[in-house]
Amino acid sequence: MHQGWIKICGIRDTETASSVAKLDPNAIGLNFYEKTPRCIDIDTATTIVRELPDNIEAIGLFVNHSVDEVASITDQTKISAVQLHGDESPAFLADLYSQRPQLKLIKAYRVGSNGLEPLSHFLDECGQLEVDLSACLLDARVDGAFGGTGKTIAWDFVSENYPFDEWPPLVLAGGLTPSNIAAAIETVQPWGVDVSSGVESSPAVKDIAQCKNLIDQARAAFEQHDQPKS
């Protein structure tokens, strides 16, 4: 796990997964939230995970699933990391962590008018429950949505207010595209980036040329910032 982590999220079929894998991102995201057009079925996800190169991690995206559902899906698909985008509490993470301690846990937080204060309380409680987060993902808060909206967050605010040396590694998401990814990385200097709608030709349809362009732009930007901000 090193700075420069790039994830392409919302892949739904084996052909797209194979094409994206050839571009060598660090991870791909498989979305199990039924209310999104990017939702994937368990059988397809299992095939994708089995066929991925060892150096590319498959991450399961969940929204308000039960602990048992997350455990069952990750067991079936052999997914090794989960990204929780719903209203999951620190107690939920502690329960999941106790049942599946091998899973890497990424918690998504949607930045709204309250800034980062709710996330601070969340992370404090995770610490008290001895839950170790692999990363925090910051996305834009849009009422009624759990991500994938294409809305950006205030990069300057994140850069100035995220305690990089105290909190889990920061994954930046929200409205990232091939045309703004370099500026986002330069401004925020996150540990990683996560892109979904910003590389699509239509909702839930990945454009491989856009994926390549974004990965190339992100790699170049990360190379200029070898160390995470502290």
Check if 139 is active-site.
Answer: yes
Nearest-5° angle of CA 2, CA 50, CA 57?
10
Q: Which of 9, 126, 136, 211 is catalytic?
A: 9
The DSSP-derived string for 130-167 is T---SEEEEEE--TT--S-S-----HHHHHHHS-TTTS
Q: Directed axis angle between helix 208-223 and helix 181-188, to 10°?
A: 30
Q: How many residues does the chain have?
A: 230
Q: Which of 95, 126, 136, 139 is catalytic?
A: 139
DSSP 178: T
The DSSP-derived string for 52-114 is S-TTSEEEEEESS--HHHHHHHHHHHT--EEEE-S---HHHHHHHHHH-TTSEEEEEEEEBTT
**Alpha-carbon gap, residue 47 to 78, rounded angstroms:** 10
Query: What are residue 33's phi and psi, to 5 degrees?
Result: -85, 115
Check if 9 is active-site.
Answer: yes
**Alpha-carbon gap, residue 194 to 110, rounded angstroms:** 14
**Alpha-carbon gap, residue 46 to 42, rounded angstroms:** 6
Of the candidates 186, 149, 194, the one whose C-alpha atom is nearest the C-alpha of residue 170 is 194
| Positions marked catalytic | 9, 139
